Structure 1
Amino acid sequence: MAVKKTDLLDDILAVAGQKPADLNIGGHTIRIRRAHTGVQVVEWQNIEVKRADARATVLESKATDAEKLDRLAIIGADYLKDMLTFLSEPPTAEEDIDAVCELLGNTSGQVMSKVMARIFTESGLFNDKGEHVPFIQPSETESNTDA
Protein backbone atom coordinates (compact mmCIF):
# COMPACT_ATOMS: atom_id res chain seq x y z
CA MET A 1 0.00 0.00 0.00
CA ALA A 2 1.37 3.39 -1.00
CA VAL A 3 1.77 5.98 1.71
CA LYS A 4 0.27 9.35 0.90
CA LYS A 5 2.85 12.10 1.01
CA THR A 6 1.79 15.59 1.98
CA ASP A 7 3.92 18.63 1.33
CA LEU A 8 3.26 20.28 4.65
CA LEU A 9 4.51 23.71 3.59
CA ASP A 10 2.25 23.72 0.54
CA ASP A 11 -0.65 22.32 2.56
CA ILE A 12 -0.58 25.04 5.21
CA LEU A 13 1.15 28.01 3.54
CA ALA A 14 0.68 27.93 -0.25
CA VAL A 15 -1.40 30.69 -1.80
CA ALA A 16 -3.49 29.62 -4.77
CA GLY A 17 -3.70 32.60 -7.03
CA GLN A 18 -4.44 33.78 -10.49
CA LYS A 19 -2.06 33.97 -13.42
CA PRO A 20 0.80 36.49 -13.12
CA ALA A 21 -0.09 40.16 -13.55
CA ASP A 22 1.82 42.87 -15.37
CA LEU A 23 1.94 46.03 -13.27
CA ASN A 24 2.96 49.31 -14.90
CA ILE A 25 4.74 51.50 -12.37
CA GLY A 26 6.05 54.79 -13.67
CA GLY A 27 6.39 53.44 -17.20
CA HIS A 28 8.16 50.24 -16.11
CA THR A 29 6.48 46.85 -16.29
CA ILE A 30 6.90 44.37 -13.46
CA ARG A 31 5.31 40.94 -13.92
CA ILE A 32 4.41 39.61 -10.50
CA ARG A 33 3.61 36.10 -9.38
CA ARG A 34 0.15 35.73 -7.79
CA ALA A 35 0.33 32.07 -6.75
CA HIS A 36 2.95 31.02 -4.21
CA THR A 37 4.23 27.65 -3.03
CA GLY A 38 4.82 26.95 0.63
CA VAL A 39 8.58 27.28 0.11
CA GLN A 40 8.07 30.68 -1.54
CA VAL A 41 6.00 31.84 1.45
CA VAL A 42 8.88 30.80 3.73
CA GLU A 43 11.27 32.82 1.50
CA TRP A 44 8.92 35.80 1.74
CA GLN A 45 8.82 35.53 5.52
CA ASN A 46 12.63 35.51 5.59
CA ILE A 47 12.54 38.87 3.77
CA GLU A 48 10.01 40.17 6.31
CA VAL A 49 12.12 39.00 9.28
CA LYS A 50 15.26 40.55 7.78
CA ARG A 51 13.44 43.90 7.49
CA ALA A 52 11.95 43.71 10.99
CA ASP A 53 15.34 42.86 12.52
CA ALA A 54 17.05 45.69 10.65
CA ARG A 55 14.37 48.18 11.75
CA ALA A 56 14.60 47.05 15.38
CA THR A 57 18.38 47.45 15.36
CA VAL A 58 18.07 51.01 14.06
CA LEU A 59 15.27 51.98 16.44
CA GLU A 60 17.17 50.59 19.43
CA SER A 61 20.40 52.33 18.44
CA LYS A 62 21.75 55.48 20.04
CA ALA A 63 21.79 57.28 16.71
CA THR A 64 20.17 60.67 16.37
CA ASP A 65 16.62 60.82 15.06
CA ALA A 66 17.90 62.12 11.72
CA GLU A 67 20.38 59.25 11.43
CA LYS A 68 17.63 56.75 12.31
CA LEU A 69 15.36 58.19 9.62
CA ASP A 70 18.14 57.92 7.04
CA ARG A 71 18.85 54.31 8.00
CA LEU A 72 15.15 53.41 8.00
CA ALA A 73 14.81 54.89 4.51
CA ILE A 74 17.66 52.65 3.32
CA ILE A 75 16.01 49.63 4.93
CA GLY A 76 12.74 50.51 3.18
CA ALA A 77 14.48 50.81 -0.18
CA ASP A 78 16.28 47.48 0.34
CA TYR A 79 12.98 45.85 1.32
CA LEU A 80 11.27 47.17 -1.80
CA LYS A 81 14.08 45.79 -3.99
CA ASP A 82 14.02 42.43 -2.20
CA MET A 83 10.24 42.13 -2.52
CA LEU A 84 10.08 43.18 -6.19
CA THR A 85 12.88 40.75 -7.01
CA PHE A 86 11.10 38.00 -5.04
CA LEU A 87 7.68 38.62 -6.60
CA SER A 88 8.74 39.29 -10.17
CA GLU A 89 9.09 36.75 -12.91
CA PRO A 90 10.16 36.84 -16.55
CA PRO A 91 10.03 38.91 -18.67
CA THR A 92 10.65 41.47 -15.90
CA ALA A 93 14.05 43.07 -16.40
CA GLU A 94 16.29 43.88 -13.45
CA GLU A 95 16.59 47.37 -14.91
CA ASP A 96 12.83 47.83 -14.50
CA ILE A 97 13.01 46.74 -10.87
CA ASP A 98 15.89 49.17 -10.27
CA ALA A 99 14.00 52.00 -11.99
CA VAL A 100 10.85 51.40 -9.91
CA CYS A 101 12.94 51.31 -6.73
CA GLU A 102 14.61 54.59 -7.68
CA LEU A 103 11.29 56.20 -8.58
CA LEU A 104 9.61 55.19 -5.32
CA GLY A 105 12.75 55.84 -3.29
CA ASN A 106 12.64 59.48 -4.37
CA THR A 107 9.09 60.05 -3.19
CA SER A 108 7.35 60.33 0.17
CA GLY A 109 6.94 57.41 2.52
CA GLN A 110 3.19 57.68 2.05
CA VAL A 111 3.43 57.22 -1.71
CA MET A 112 5.89 54.35 -1.36
CA SER A 113 3.72 52.62 1.26
CA LYS A 114 0.55 52.97 -0.80
CA VAL A 115 2.19 51.61 -3.98
CA MET A 116 3.84 48.76 -2.07
CA ALA A 117 0.54 47.84 -0.41
CA ARG A 118 -1.12 47.62 -3.83
CA ILE A 119 1.71 45.46 -5.21
CA PHE A 120 1.46 43.12 -2.23
CA THR A 121 -2.33 42.89 -2.54
CA GLU A 122 -2.00 42.15 -6.27
CA SER A 123 0.53 39.42 -5.42
CA GLY A 124 -2.03 37.58 -3.31
CA LEU A 125 0.21 37.62 -0.22
CA PHE A 126 -1.89 40.32 1.47
CA ASN A 127 -5.64 40.78 1.42
CA ASP A 128 -7.47 44.12 1.21
CA LYS A 129 -7.26 44.44 5.01
CA GLY A 130 -3.45 44.19 4.94
CA GLU A 131 -3.46 40.72 6.50
CA HIS A 132 -0.90 38.14 5.44
CA VAL A 133 -3.06 35.68 3.50
CA PRO A 134 -1.10 32.50 4.39
CA PHE A 135 -1.55 33.25 8.10
CA ILE A 136 -5.27 33.95 8.32
CA GLN A 137 -6.68 31.78 11.10
CA PRO A 138 -7.45 28.19 10.03
CA SER A 139 -11.14 28.68 10.84
CA GLU A 140 -11.24 31.17 7.97
CA THR A 141 -9.59 28.86 5.44
CA GLU A 142 -9.89 25.26 4.35
CA SER A 143 -7.11 22.68 4.69
CA ASN A 144 -5.95 20.85 1.59
CA THR A 145 -5.31 17.68 3.63
CA ASP A 146 -7.67 14.78 3.22
CA ALA A 147 -8.77 13.26 6.51
Structure 2
Amino acid sequence: MSINLFDAALGIEGSEPVEINVGEDFTLSLRTAHTGQQVVAFSAIEEKRTLDSLSVYNNKKLSESARETALAEINAAYAKALLQSLCTEDSKAEDIEGAAKLISDLAPNPRLRVYRQIGILSGVVDENGSPFPSTKSSKTKKSTNG
Protein backbone atom coordinates (compact mmCIF):
# COMPACT_ATOMS: atom_id res chain seq x y z
CA MET A 1 0.00 0.00 0.00
CA SER A 2 1.30 3.41 -0.95
CA ILE A 3 0.02 6.63 0.60
CA ASN A 4 0.68 10.09 -0.74
CA LEU A 5 1.74 11.89 2.44
CA PHE A 6 0.68 15.36 1.24
CA ASP A 7 -2.76 14.07 0.24
CA ALA A 8 -3.16 12.23 3.55
CA ALA A 9 -2.07 15.23 5.63
CA LEU A 10 -3.34 18.15 3.56
CA GLY A 11 -5.87 16.95 1.01
CA ILE A 12 -9.33 18.46 1.29
CA GLU A 13 -12.35 16.37 0.41
CA GLY A 14 -15.04 18.49 -1.11
CA SER A 15 -18.11 18.24 -3.24
CA GLU A 16 -18.74 19.43 -6.76
CA PRO A 17 -17.20 22.73 -7.91
CA VAL A 18 -19.06 25.93 -7.04
CA GLU A 19 -19.87 28.40 -9.80
CA ILE A 20 -19.51 32.06 -8.80
CA ASN A 21 -20.18 35.31 -10.60
CA VAL A 22 -17.76 38.16 -10.04
CA GLY A 23 -19.32 41.44 -10.99
CA GLU A 24 -21.62 41.35 -13.99
CA ASP A 25 -19.22 39.86 -16.50
CA PHE A 26 -17.15 37.05 -15.04
CA THR A 27 -18.13 33.48 -14.16
CA LEU A 28 -15.69 31.19 -12.39
CA SER A 29 -15.82 27.60 -11.17
CA LEU A 30 -14.16 27.08 -7.78
CA ARG A 31 -12.74 23.70 -6.87
CA THR A 32 -13.91 22.38 -3.47
CA ALA A 33 -11.75 19.25 -3.37
CA HIS A 34 -8.00 19.78 -3.26
CA THR A 35 -5.04 17.46 -3.41
CA GLY A 36 -2.25 17.91 -0.91
CA GLN A 37 -0.09 19.49 -3.61
CA GLN A 38 -2.84 22.01 -4.42
CA VAL A 39 -3.03 22.94 -0.73
CA VAL A 40 0.75 23.40 -0.68
CA ALA A 41 0.48 25.70 -3.72
CA PHE A 42 -2.34 27.70 -2.07
CA SER A 43 -0.24 28.06 1.09
CA ALA A 44 2.72 29.32 -0.95
CA ILE A 45 0.51 31.99 -2.56
CA GLU A 46 -0.69 33.12 0.87
CA GLU A 47 2.85 33.20 2.25
CA LYS A 48 4.15 35.19 -0.74
CA ARG A 49 1.45 37.85 -0.29
CA THR A 50 2.25 38.13 3.42
CA LEU A 51 6.02 38.36 2.98
CA ASP A 52 5.80 40.77 0.04
CA SER A 53 3.41 43.04 1.94
CA LEU A 54 5.59 43.01 5.05
CA SER A 55 8.59 43.91 2.95
CA VAL A 56 6.77 46.95 1.59
CA TYR A 57 5.47 48.02 5.01
CA ASN A 58 8.92 47.64 6.56
CA ASN A 59 10.73 49.56 3.81
CA LYS A 60 11.15 52.99 5.40
CA LYS A 61 12.72 54.36 2.20
CA LEU A 62 9.48 54.14 0.23
CA SER A 63 7.31 57.21 -0.13
CA GLU A 64 3.62 56.84 0.69
CA SER A 65 2.82 56.87 -3.02
CA ALA A 66 5.43 54.21 -3.81
CA ARG A 67 4.13 52.10 -0.91
CA GLU A 68 0.55 52.33 -2.20
CA THR A 69 1.68 51.39 -5.73
CA ALA A 70 3.70 48.42 -4.49
CA LEU A 71 0.83 47.14 -2.34
CA ALA A 72 -1.60 47.52 -5.24
CA GLU A 73 0.73 45.43 -7.43
CA ILE A 74 1.01 42.78 -4.70
CA ASN A 75 -2.78 42.65 -4.35
CA ALA A 76 -3.28 42.37 -8.11
CA ALA A 77 -0.77 39.52 -8.37
CA TYR A 78 -2.30 37.80 -5.34
CA ALA A 79 -5.87 38.00 -6.66
CA LYS A 80 -4.82 36.48 -9.98
CA ALA A 81 -2.71 33.73 -8.38
CA LEU A 82 -5.45 32.92 -5.87
CA LEU A 83 -8.10 32.51 -8.54
CA GLN A 84 -5.77 30.55 -10.82
CA SER A 85 -5.01 28.15 -7.99
CA LEU A 86 -8.60 27.62 -6.84
CA CYS A 87 -10.52 27.64 -10.13
CA THR A 88 -11.22 24.54 -12.18
CA GLU A 89 -10.12 24.17 -15.78
CA ASP A 90 -13.67 25.22 -16.79
CA SER A 91 -12.86 28.81 -15.82
CA LYS A 92 -11.71 30.92 -18.74
CA ALA A 93 -8.39 32.73 -18.41
CA GLU A 94 -9.99 36.03 -19.40
CA ASP A 95 -12.64 35.59 -16.68
CA ILE A 96 -9.93 34.92 -14.10
CA GLU A 97 -8.02 38.01 -15.25
CA GLY A 98 -11.12 40.22 -15.22
CA ALA A 99 -12.35 38.93 -11.86
CA ALA A 100 -8.89 39.37 -10.33
CA LYS A 101 -8.81 43.00 -11.53
CA LEU A 102 -12.27 43.72 -10.10
CA ILE A 103 -11.33 42.18 -6.78
CA SER A 104 -7.91 43.80 -6.48
CA ASP A 105 -9.44 47.22 -7.25
CA LEU A 106 -11.75 47.00 -4.24
CA ALA A 107 -11.01 48.99 -1.10
CA PRO A 108 -9.14 46.94 1.54
CA ASN A 109 -12.07 45.87 3.76
CA PRO A 110 -14.39 44.70 0.96
CA ARG A 111 -11.44 43.05 -0.81
CA LEU A 112 -10.54 41.05 2.30
CA ARG A 113 -14.17 39.97 2.74
CA VAL A 114 -14.24 38.79 -0.89
CA TYR A 115 -10.97 36.86 -0.42
CA ARG A 116 -12.41 35.21 2.69
CA GLN A 117 -15.62 34.28 0.86
CA ILE A 118 -13.62 32.73 -1.98
CA GLY A 119 -11.70 30.71 0.59
CA ILE A 120 -14.90 29.61 2.35
CA LEU A 121 -16.62 28.59 -0.89
CA SER A 122 -13.60 26.60 -2.03
CA GLY A 123 -13.12 24.97 1.38
CA VAL A 124 -9.62 26.26 2.12
CA VAL A 125 -10.64 28.60 4.99
CA ASP A 126 -13.42 28.66 7.58
CA GLU A 127 -15.79 31.50 8.48
CA ASN A 128 -13.06 33.13 10.58
CA GLY A 129 -10.44 32.91 7.86
CA SER A 130 -8.57 30.06 9.53
CA PRO A 131 -6.95 27.83 6.91
CA PHE A 132 -7.92 24.26 6.06
CA PRO A 133 -11.02 23.73 8.19
CA SER A 134 -12.11 20.66 6.28
CA THR A 135 -8.75 19.00 5.86
CA LYS A 136 -9.33 15.29 5.73
CA SER A 137 -7.32 12.44 4.42
CA SER A 138 -7.99 12.32 0.70
CA LYS A 139 -8.33 8.92 -0.89
CA THR A 140 -8.24 10.31 -4.41
CA LYS A 141 -5.14 10.17 -6.55
CA LYS A 142 -5.84 13.66 -7.90
CA SER A 143 -8.39 16.41 -7.44
CA THR A 144 -11.84 15.12 -8.27
CA ASN A 145 -13.09 18.33 -9.79
CA GLY A 146 -10.40 20.05 -11.76
Shorter-chain TM-score bucket reads 0.7 to 0.9
Alignment of 1:1-147 (within 5 A): 4-27=1-24, 28-61=26-59, 62-133=61-132
> Which runs of 5 or more structure 1 residues have no equivalent in the other structure?
none
CA RMSD of aligned residues (A): 2.1
TM-score between the two structures when normalised by the length of structure 1: 0.84
After TM superposition, give the deviation of residue 143 of structure 1 in Å. 6.0
Aligned residue type for 1:50: K
Task: Give the 4+ runs in structure 1 shifted more than 3 A.
Answer: 141-144
User: Residues 78 and 119 from structure 1, CA distance in 2 versus in 1: closer, same or farther, beyond 3 angstroms?
Assistant: same
What's the CA shift for 1:56?
Answer: 2.0
Higher-RCO chain (CA-CA 8 Å, sequence separation at least 6): 2
- Paired residues in the alignment total 137
SS at match of 2:34: coil
Structure showing greater Rg: 1
* Structure 2: runs of 5 or more not aligned: 139-146
**What is the TM-score with the length of structure 2 in the denominator?**
0.84
Deviates more, 1:61-70 or 1:115-124: 61-70
